[in-house]
Structure 1
């Protein structure tokens, strides 16, 4: 397109030069030229001028067409970038869903295995008149802080939420200042949410923010607080909480998730 425009400009320039030469020739030879010659020359000059006007009009149309083409390509590039961004967001959301489903499947499988193991134990064991509370035995068997925390997380991952809850409650009671205390509080809040004890879960997530203000768990605890408020139907409070996450942690995955939740509830 660019070479074609240059070529047409060159042709137009040649036409102008020819026109100028004709004028000069007319002035120079005017004394010896006949009226017929002058008329022929005037006709040729008019034809050259008309051709020049035609070429200029073509150049204008081609320039406008080129501008429209560039504008269309720019719009297509902008739309393409927007589509790529939307696809990346959809992929991130799909990955989160897959991870959540994988966790649920593992929890369900672990629960089935526990039930089968319990059935085998009951079938093979002799009758007992007094049986100790299994939850209490597991909690008391934790021993050191790390052992108790491992016991709690193992039970949580296996889907034994009541046992895990008791173990985490015991941990935060015994070892309030331990390095794992913030994680224990967060996991306890997560269990409460899964058990649909929403008021207790909200209080537990907020306690993470108050007791451990600079801990890495605070960011997730704020986001989860917003989810609990949505589950409780308090959308106004949830919107305020999620906006705080978006503004406090820009550019993070949790901020992106919070923004998506805001779009859903607005």
Structure 2
């Protein structure tokens, strides 16, 4: 009987070993599967982080670009305000000369007071944001007062009104008229900048760049030339 016990133990051992072997293999497979799952999640997380980082970089670059555009636009607005102020100062000076005894009268036979009133009325429409109405009023003024001393400014502001009203071709014509007939007038540099804006609006970026370069060369000390240099990226 004692000899049967060791024999029974010998018969049981392979079964236990086999169970342990097969059980261990299943556990290993589970561990491998778990490890693969973890690796896949880590890789997915890493890709997501890289993608997020890339998107952040793109957003930062876009924000920087927009800030630059805002700064340029703010500068242009301030420059325009200053040019408008200078223009009205010049207008007041001209009106005072007309009102002074012995002052130079307009070459036309029109009533100076009526002429000034019509011109100022057109500019008030422009300041009020009524661009089409301002353009029509300025065009009427130009046609009526063909010898007016206000013609350079009338064409310049008509160009601005046309540009705001999306009548870009008309804007270009008015700015070109200023540059062709009154290249030494105080509004000429701004007219050239307006011409560049018109060319840009028409999709002719190369022509706009050439105009900006010509503006810097022809009127280097003007406020408009400073804006042109900023756009061209030069000092």
Q: TM-score, normalised by structure 1?
A: 0.46
The whole-number CA distance in structure 2 between the counterparts of 1:239 and 1:213 is: 19
Residues 77-114 of structure 1, C-alpha deviations (whole Å, 9 max, x = no match) = xxxxxxxxxxxx99x85752564899xxxxxxxxxxxx
Q: How does 1:53-202 map to 2 (within 5 A)?
A: 93=72, 96=75, 99=78, 144-202=114-172
- Matched residue of 2:225: which SS? helix
Q: Structure 1 residues 153, 94: closer, same or farther in 2, change over 3 A?
A: closer
Q: Structure 1 residue 248 and structure 2 residue 227: aligned?
A: no
The whole-number CA distance in structure 2 between the counterparts of 1:244 and 1:101 is: 20
Residues 209-262 of structure 1, C-alpha deviations (whole Å, 9 max, x = no match) = 112222111111111111111111111111111111111222432212101222
Residues 139-162 of structure 1, C-alpha deviations (whole Å, 9 max, x = no match) = xxx981111111111111112222
- Matched residue of 2:135: which SS? helix
RMSD (CA atoms) = 3.1
Q: Structure 1 residue 260 and structure 2 residue 234: aligned?
A: no
The whole-number CA distance in structure 2 between the counterparts of 1:101 and 1:258 is: 13
5+ residue gaps, structure 2, are 1-67, 82-111
- Matched residue of 2:166: which SS? coil
The whole-number CA distance in structure 1 between the counterparts of 2:133 and 2:113 is: 16
Report the CA distance between 1:203 and its aligned residue.
1.3
5+ residue gaps, structure 1, are 1-88, 103-141
Q: Structure 1 residues 261, 101: closer, same or farther in 2, change over 3 A?
A: closer
Larger relative contact order (CA 8 Å, sep ≥ 6): 2
Q: Which residue of 1 aligns with 2:207?
A: 237
Q: Structure 1 residues 209, 252: closer, same or farther in 2, change over 3 A?
A: closer
Q: Structure 1 residues 95, 195: closer, same or farther in 2, change over 3 A?
A: closer
- Matched residue of 1:246: which SS? helix
Aligned length: 137
Residues 159 and 194, structure 2, Cα contact 8 Å, conserved in 1: no
The whole-number CA distance in structure 2 between the counterparts of 1:221 and 1:167 is: 19
The whole-number CA distance in structure 1 between the counterparts of 2:221 and 2:182 is: 23
- Runs of 4+ in structure 1 off by over 3 angstroms are 92-95, 97-102
Q: TM-score, normalised by structure 2?
A: 0.52
